[in-house]
Structure 1
């Protein structure tokens, strides 16, 4: 297995990849330089009995709610899908980029029998204009119809559209049911910042595995190089903080190694490997690979401080700077495979 990872890492480096991520069993991938550092949510569930029927569309001229339906997406919808998905990605730190070509593949290129194949549908208003999109599994899984993507165009009310979407999903789920498996619920595998979680409160929307904090394993071979690559983002965060325009340095210890970050008038002027000593222990310390949890927004500085006795989040300027540079941010990875 180690030889396989060596080959994989070599191929990734040849392609210019700065990081790798994998979802897998507990602990195992730590052996190969990985740390759980990007949230992997199990989603939320609403039971069928809690989904009301379609709202009455009434007469739009009288100010009654408009009506919405779902239709199968076509390859010609790729631009709409890509643009809408791009806007939704703005809620998150890490997402999967899906261009028009990839959406055409999702809609018309995948083998329908593939485990990764989804049904992509367009949300349409009463005039047949596209209002959003929805992606769901082709079959029920343990009595649930799983939904992996849901976005609406700008200017539309999630409160108004969502009841129609839920009702149509229930109809689809019932059609997918068999004699042995009936539709019991809809599950939504979205990031925590998705608008659906605000539109439908808990209950009737329930978090699955509410005590499970599982995450994607992440590996960054060249940490200084990665930080230099994302320097524009770090500088934007600094500019929006109380440390805008700051000049100074932060020495971060990993006990058997570390980093030195140099700032000049709010710009990241240098990032280099650094080795702590007995005399120079650094401004902050993170054991093993836990710094990756901070880097990818999975845990805040204070959360790491509480979770690890040998984590030292720093004091004074260093603590303020680390909080500004590495805030807790949600991610939503929809794997491209």
Structure 2
């Protein structure tokens, strides 16, 4: 492989582009850059990821070095996952720890690093890239908000029921009990379109911690009459303002038990408790039911660099959707475009027999559906219907006779992938 650890390329006489070799001296420079850009809070966690993460050999740290000062001045990382997309599993990656020193910004270094990042993606077969990044900046790299990530609810402690839940007990999960967590995890997340493949070692790294912050979380069981019946993770939100939860399915009584424990931990630190919980989960629904007020939301920013590869990977999911619809015997060539590239899907008897792409602006009226740029990802990933996109993107176009087929191929569906980093 060309783009392996230790790769380097001269940008000009002063700057060189590199992929980290996992050396200690190199890491010190990477760490100092990230602490300078992101704050002292990341020091211990980046050190932990770099040295201890179970997938550290698959992580890539890409950076630009100023050869005059011997300082690393800009860097990003590539962190691998496997995510379920319907009934298929797709290798994806997350762009993380992005930053440049203040005096080196505006030189296009992140764009140069992104080119190398996508070359590594292509070489290793990663189909989708995601990022939990700041607002707007990553649009210039071709990203769009397309998967929910963070929903926030403010809840007054006075709204939490006072009745004791004596039949319920909360305790930490031990390593030998993870088989129960896996079962509950799959039962809960399997109802979503996109969700993270359970990786045991990565899960332990992320959720088995005796302390928590916006990087680390802990894992608990709720026991009923001495038997584990549900689990939840407890940590801090990315901005360190709220308490973040990932949960299995919960009853109202179990929700009360969790909220009572949060209130006890919170101890009046502020007038309202800030909860970071996905809005369609049992805990979020209950918090809203008793008076919680949703006030903010955020999302994974997503890029699909190679649309043909993406369609090849989700082919089985698309065929299953067709098979379960009135289009099961479909014989048609279907065209979908982002106005820069057009994907051609050839269906015969409901099966996709060929996938091809064409570059360039499509002929007017030639496509079944055309949605500009990265907005197309919102349709492909089930985030928005065509009509919802048309409302905010006037140049989204569809053939009237193709609307039913588009709704069948790309239904709006909830997704809930989580991070192991």
TM-score by shorter chain over 0.5: yes
Residue by residue, what CA displacement relative to the aligned partner does 1:79-123 show, whole Å, maximum 9, x if unpaired? 222221122112322222233323332344x58476411121111
Residues 78 and 104, structure 1, Cα contact 8 Å, conserved in 2:
no
> 1:147: which partner in 2?
244
Residue range with higher mean Cα deviation, 295-304 or 264-273: 264-273
> 1:28: which partner in 2?
137
Question: What root-mean-square deviation, in Å, do the aligned CA atoms of Structure 1 and Structure 2 show?
Answer: 2.7
Is 2:204 the partner of 1:104?
yes
- Please point out which of 157, 161, 173 is paired with 2:266: 173
SS in structure 2 at match of 1:43? strand
SS in structure 1 at match of 2:398? coil
> 2:356: which partner in 1?
272
> 1:49: which partner in 2?
158
> 1:284: which partner in 2?
369
Residues 367 and 398, structure 2, Cα contact 8 Å, conserved in 1:
no
CA distance in 2, matches of 1:39, 1:94: 10
Task: Flag structure 2 segments of 5+ consecutive residues without an equivalent.
Answer: 1-109
Task: Flag structure 1 segments of 5+ consecutive residues without an equivalent.
Answer: 58-66
Is 2:421 the partner of 1:334?
no
> 2:339: which partner in 1?
255
Residues 47 and 184, structure 1, Cα contact 8 Å, conserved in 2:
yes
CA distance in 1, matches of 2:169, 2:178: 19
Distance apart, 1:29 and its partner CA:
1.2
Is 2:227 the partner of 1:137?
no
> 2:280: which partner in 1?
193
Distance of aligned partners of 1:187 and 1:120 in 2 relative to their CA distance in 1, 3 Å threshold: same
Q: Which has the higher contact order (CA 8 A, sep 6+)?
A: 1
Distance of aligned partners of 1:103 and 1:55 in 2 relative to their CA distance in 1, 3 Å threshold: same
> 1:61: which partner in 2?
none
CA distance in 1, matches of 2:220, 2:316: 36
> 1:220: which partner in 2?
304
Distance apart, 1:320 and its partner CA:
1.2
Residues 69 and 165, structure 1, Cα contact 8 Å, conserved in 2:
no
Is 2:209 the partner of 1:124?
no
SS in structure 1 at match of 2:197? coil
Residues 252 and 283, structure 1, Cα contact 8 Å, conserved in 2:
yes
Residue by residue, what CA displacement relative to the aligned partner does 1:7-61 show, whole Å, maximum 9, x if unpaired? 222233333211100122232212222222222333323221100123465xxxx
CA distance in 2, matches of 1:31, 1:169: 40
Residue by residue, what CA displacement relative to the aligned partner does 1:123-164 show, whole Å, maximum 9, x if unpaired? 1112x211111111269x8775x1321214xxxx61232222
Residues matched between the structures, number? 311
> 1:315: which partner in 2?
400
CA distance in 2, matches of 1:223, 1:87: 31
Residues 206 and 420, structure 2, Cα contact 8 Å, conserved in 1:
no
Distance of aligned partners of 1:164 and 1:256 in 2 relative to their CA distance in 1, 3 Å threshold: closer
More strand by share: 2
Distance apart, 1:313 and its partner CA:
2.3
CA distance in 2, matches of 1:106, 1:56: 29
> 1:60: which partner in 2?
none
CA distance in 2, matches of 1:148, 1:249: 44
Residues 155 and 287, structure 2, Cα contact 8 Å, conserved in 1:
no
- Please point out which of 104, 121, 126 is paired with 1:12: 121
CA distance in 2, matches of 1:44, 1:182: 14
